[in-house]
Chains A and B, each alone.
Chain A
């Protein structure tokens, strides 16, 4: 059954990957122009993008229980209310049914609707991010809110989500920051602020402790739900803007360079739109060594062949997965066998001996890696004790006992003969004597 669900899910994913619809909600249509480079790269990769005003009254994400879009991009930081049936709860249902969301906030005036969606996922928007050390000397207006970030130290080591961080040029960032709830264990703090940064309203004097300080302030966070739906949240809509994407970074003391924003947002978009890091199980087989079909039940201590075919989505094509660290567990509450699968061109296989313990086991592949979808495959098998005919008939160490029982039997026969015939002798002798 689990397998079937997996398959359905993967089919769904496949459908998403093939021809999926992206709904972009914007505050006003000018964003379409100001962020055109970002949107163009999305459409170039084969997604059909639909722009709507966030407060348009005909909006609908789910219709008759079916998703109307596979992906949702919320570029409407100031929206207080979404139009149509869209609410934070509707977006939560959308995610529960497998929809992906990219949400961008802003440094100030974040609308209630966007705050609700973020709060649903365990995030709050803090004030404008200010860094008096790392700022762009040309683009900044003096408030030090156009921050220059260093990819190598501030991005998470997650190539599937952010691309290769070591090759990334400095990133321009302007906006607020996110404060994450520590209880949200699914989140990945992909992009953190530098330790000299803090969140505060730049126009006001600092009286209270800032709402987020240093590395605690999260700039981009990624969440992969348990059904593999993906969310990327950021507090900066500017991060995706044409201005930043094509800007040259000027930081005090450094040479001016082309910004790394393009590479970063493309990587983020690819990940959230499920173009990278998607795995699927193509087939799974297990059987006794030398057989083809799985038996109704295994017997203890048998040798078993296990084969799992895994594919990865790369450039819209399913190609064999090349990971070498996938492990198989043979679990009955606790794992009895844990072994790394041999990867041969996407076919992961192993041969192992069943334990000498009967029970109902699970052949479990539970592969969780940052950036990849959760690869889970569960096959339930029963392992039975030996049949009464399968035990050893003669045990070598018991030969003395066999010998003793046979000698006992034969000597009994001999003894009976001796006893019976011996008894008559004295009788005869006795009669002879009297005679």
Chain B
């Protein structure tokens, strides 16, 4: 703690301790994310990571250029998907280079293993990046930086997206983001073009890695705007931003998915606007000493403002700046969003409990950190505050943003805690003036202290003050470990019941499909399972998690929501061979398709061809969503209902419940004798979680109907 308190340049011994502590934090960050490997196996988790994994495998096999030009004919049948131009390739590049690097040194690793461990590895890097960022924010305060890096290693909000196996864009993007911020602050501090260029390079990596780069694109101009408004805009900031913006934008346009968006979409316009603004301000500052007349000055200002308005107006009228993109618009008007974006679980607002679970202690330290920033306001602290407060606002709308908020919380938490120790620790080591003091003397001292602006029992209070954070941080650590172990290590493709029982139905079904269906069979499922099917079952799918074509998803929704005859015609049109549904009624798995069905109906009804499908038709007269005998006919005739509950009426799910009792909906199924005309059951897994149906060819001859 001596080291933590000490300001200025550390000695050699302290440097060594610092390095040791940092290395410890890195190891901690790595190790805490390995629970999933210990409890399950080295497997890829969730949904999107399967796509990333499949892409990485493709890239490693065929090279970077064929990945860049990859046209995936096995997804979005029959449209296909140009993956290379609709993906953020940073993750695959990273995993691919690690793989080739290790192979070059004769480490016989597997692509899957590299992918699984990307999350923990980059969390360790994040620890270092956070150290750098906090160091910049606090102008060289090693203590705050160290605290922040320990926090980032442990904060559950970050663990949630970076455990081993969670091979997703975010797992590296958070590192890129923190690094970009650190380098940006460095650029603004030094005012050097080289530093700004490194920030731009880090920005490129971020753009390559994740669609969330748009946050950086807007936060940094916001920071510059803040500097301007608070009168802290300097030449250093001018050089840093001009360099960063030009190089960063040019570099980001090299990513084929981003392409010309930085010059066209409204999401990127603030950055361009600020770039223009600082040119004008600098030009104005340059002119100011030369122009003496007050009137002329006003004309210049007026002319400048007028031209800005003209450019903006012209751009909007000609349609060069469109509306905000779907996900970003969602932040400002969550009610008007299209259902496909609203339906995603992680696009819901954050509950207070969730904040507590994901941030814990940092939630308390956050205001303290903001207070610390105010006490010492400069570029760095201004940035930290803006970062923290904007993300805090966005998390209220979208729970996913907690991930972006977490590093801000760590930085501010680090500042708060180190500020706390700066305030109290010097008192702890302050010499006690008189060992044998009488009560009167003590009283005198109190008065004296009060007169000096201090307070009595400095040492004792300091001891307590130094001790309390240790307790609190201790509880934070144990909370994080608990969260990492219990909540964030489940791979979701293997379900774990409360009693520890594992349900491996997903992989069972995908294996069955890959072994028992024709190689170019087309499997229809709701989009959640598209990546699984193409990666694990290696079959052609219609829709997947890359929700680029709303009409196509809506069409799949219409198939699932219509009656069998209508669906069959649509399925014939799309060459569907198999249909897969997820059913949780037997074991009480709440994330099944019956639960998601209401969203499928909404999405089905969101396009002109599906406009005849409305949510009301599938609800009872009282507006309830039911599956029992009170469910409306439309619901009970829908393909989804029939596929989920086929043969279910004869099944006993619970010894005290009637036959056909859905443990997920807690209702008895309404239709116990479901027959198909055009489909037949192909496979149902052990716990009925995955049910696969075969679409029969049209009857060979007259069948009486």
A329, chain B: closest CB distance, angstroms: 13
- B701 to A, closest residue via Cβ: A225
Complex Cα spacing A102 to B505, Å: 50
5 example contacts (A-B, Cβ-Cβ < 8 A) are as follows A121-B702, A183-B702, A358-B80, A360-B540, A382-B71
B573 touches A226 (CB 8 A): no
* A-side contacts of B68, CB under 8 Å: 388
* Least CB distance, B506 to chain A, in whole angstroms: 26
A122 in contact with B704 (CB, 8 Å): yes
Residues in B neighbouring A229, C-beta threshold 8 A? 700-701
Q: Which residue of chain B lies nearest to A334 when distances are taken between CB atoms in the complex?
A: B573
Q: Is the CB of B71 within 8 A of A183?
A: no
Known: A225-B700, A380-B520, A383-B80. 8 other contacts (CB 8 A): A1-B519, A95-B701, A96-B700, A223-B702, A226-B699, A360-B73, A360-B78, A382-B73
B73: chain A residues within 8 A (beta carbon): 297, 360, 382, 384
* Residues of chain B lying within 8 A (CB to CB) of residue A332: 78-79
Q: Is the CB of B71 within 8 A of A122?
A: no
B599 vs chain A, min Cβ distance (A): 24
Chain A residue nearest to B73 in the complex (CB): A382
Interface residues of B in 179-220 (CB under 8 A from A): none
Chain B residues with CB under 8 Å of A223's CB are 701-702
Chain B residues whose CB sits within 8 angstroms of the CB of A384 once the complex forms: 69, 71, 73, 80, 82
User: Which of B78, B256, B698 touches A359 (beta carbons < 8 Å)?
Assistant: B78
CB distance from B695 to the nearest CB of A (A): 15
Most buried by A among B73, B697, B699, B702: B702
Contact with B along A88-100 (1 / 0, CB 8 A): 0000100110000
B518 within 8 A of A: yes
Measured between beta carbons, the chain A residues less than 8 angstroms from B71 are: 297, 358, 382, 384-385
In the complex, chain A residues 180-216 whose Cβ is within 8 Å of any chain B Cβ: 181, 183-184, 186-187
Q: Is the CB of A361 within 8 A of B78?
A: yes
Q: Determine if A387 is an interface residue (Cβ-Cβ < 8 Å).
A: yes
Q: Which of A121, A297, A359, A380 contacts B701 (CB 8 A)?
A: A121
With the chains together, A387 CA to B77 CA distance in Å? 20
**Chain A, Cβ-Cβ closest to B84:** A388
A227 at the interface (CB under 8 A from B): yes
Give the Cβ gap from A333 to chain B, nearest Cβ, in Å.
6
Q: Which residues of A does B touch, CB under 8 Å?
A: 1, 92, 95-96, 120-122, 181, 183-184, 186-187, 223, 225-227, 229, 231, 297, 332-333, 358-361, 380, 382-385, 387-388
Q: Is the CB of B701 within 8 A of A183?
A: no
In this complex, what residue of A is CB-closest to B68?
A: A388
Does B574 interact with chain A (Cβ within 8 Å)? yes
Q: Within the complex, which residue of B540, B573, B702 is in contact with A122, where a contact is CB–CB below 8 Å?
A: B702
For residue B78, which residues in chain A have a CB less than 8 angstroms away from its CB?
Answer: 332-333, 359-361
Q: Which residues of B have CB within 8 Å of A358?
A: 71, 79-80, 82
Say how far A46's CB is from chain B's closest CB, in angstroms: 27
Contact at B574–A226, with CB atoms within 8 Å? Answer: no
- In the complex, A188→B32 CA distance in Å? 74
Cα(A333)–Cα(B540), bound, Å: 16
Contacts of A96 in B (CB 8 A): 700-701
Nearest-neighbour CB distance to chain A for B219, whole angstroms, equals 31
Instruction: Give the distance in Å from the alpha carbon of A183 to the alpha carbon of B518 in the complex.
Output: 33
A95 to B701 alpha-carbon distance, docked (Å): 9
Specify which chain A residues have a CB less than 8 angstroms from the CB of B77 in the assembled complex: 360
A227 nearest in chain B by CB position: B700
Contact B702 A181 (CB under 8 A): yes
Q: Is the CB–CB distance between A226 and B520 below 8 Å?
A: no
Which residues in A have their C-beta under 8 angstroms from that of B697? 226
Contacts of B434 in A (CB 8 A): none
Quick one: given A360-B80, A382-B73, are A95 and B700 in contact (CB under 8 Å)? yes
How far, in whole Å, are A342 and B296 apart by their CA atoms in the complex? 80
Cβ 8 A contact of B705, one of A183, A186, A359: A183
Cα–Cα distance between A92 and B700 once the two chains are bound (Å): 10
Closest to B66 in A: A387
Over the window 659-700 of chain B, the binary record of Cβ atoms lying under 8 Å from chain A Cβ atoms (1 yes, 0 no) is 000000000000000000000000000000000000001111
CB distance from B68 to the nearest CB of A (A): 6
The 4 A-B residue pairs with the shortest CB-CB distance in the complex, in nearest-first order? A384-B71, A382-B73, A225-B701, A184-B702
In the complex formed, the residue of A with least CB distance to B71 is A384
In the assembled complex, the Cα of A332 lies from the Cα of B78 at a distance in Å of 6
Residue of B nearest to A360 (CB): B78
Question: Knowing A297-B73, A333-B573 touch, does A382 contact B701 (C-beta < 8 A)?
Answer: no
Q: List residues of B (518-538) whose CB comes within 8 Å of A's CBs.
A: 518-520
**Roughly how many angstroms separate A333 CA and B71 CA in the complex, as a whole number?**
19
Chain A residues whose C-beta falls within 8 Å of the C-beta of B705 in the assembled complex = 183
Interface string of B45-68 (1 = CB under 8 A from A): 000000000000000000001001
Min CB–CB distance B577 → chain A (angstroms): 10
Identify the closest chain B residue to A358 (Cβ). B80
Q: How far in angstroms is the closest Cβ of chain B from A355?
A: 13
Least distance between B546 CB and chain A CB atoms (Å) = 15
Residues of chain B within 8 A (CB-CB) of A227 are 700
A380 to B73 Cα, complex, angstroms: 11
Q: How far is the CB of A233 from chain B (nearest CB, A)?
A: 11
Please measure, in the bound complex, the distance between the C-alpha atom of A1 and the C-alpha atom of B577, giving whole angstroms. 13
**Are B80's CB and A187's CB within 8 A?**
no
* Cα(A332)–Cα(B77), bound, Å: 9
Chain A, residue nearest B697 (CB): A226
Q: Which residue of B lies closest to A96 (CB)?
A: B700
Taking CB atoms, residues of chain A closer than 8 Å to B518 are: 1
Chain A min CB distance to B426 (Å): 54
**A231 CA to B701 CA, complexed, in Å:** 10
Picked from B69, B79, B520, B704, the residue with its CB within 8 Å of the CB of A388 is B69
A359 to B518, CA, bound (A): 21
Q: How far is the CB of B536 from chain A (nearest CB, A)?
A: 21
Question: How close is B367's CB to chain A, nearest CB, in angstroms?
Answer: 50
Docked CA distance A120–B69 (Å): 54
In the bound complex, residues from chain B placing their C-beta under 8 Å from that of A186 are: 701-702
Q: How far is the CA of A227 from the CA of B519 in the complex (A)?
A: 23
In Å, the complex CA distance between A108 and B518 comes to 51
* Across-interface contacts of A359 in B (CB, < 8 A): 78-80
| Distance of B627 from chain A, by nearest CB (Å) | 33
Report how far A1 CA is from B522 CA in the complex, Å: 13
Complex contacts, A1 vs chain B, CB 8 Å = 518-520
Residues of A within 8 A of B574 (CB): 333
> What is the minimal beta-carbon distance from B516 to any residue of chain A, in angstroms?
14
Q: Which of B80, B520, B573, B699 has the most CB of A within 10 A?
A: B80
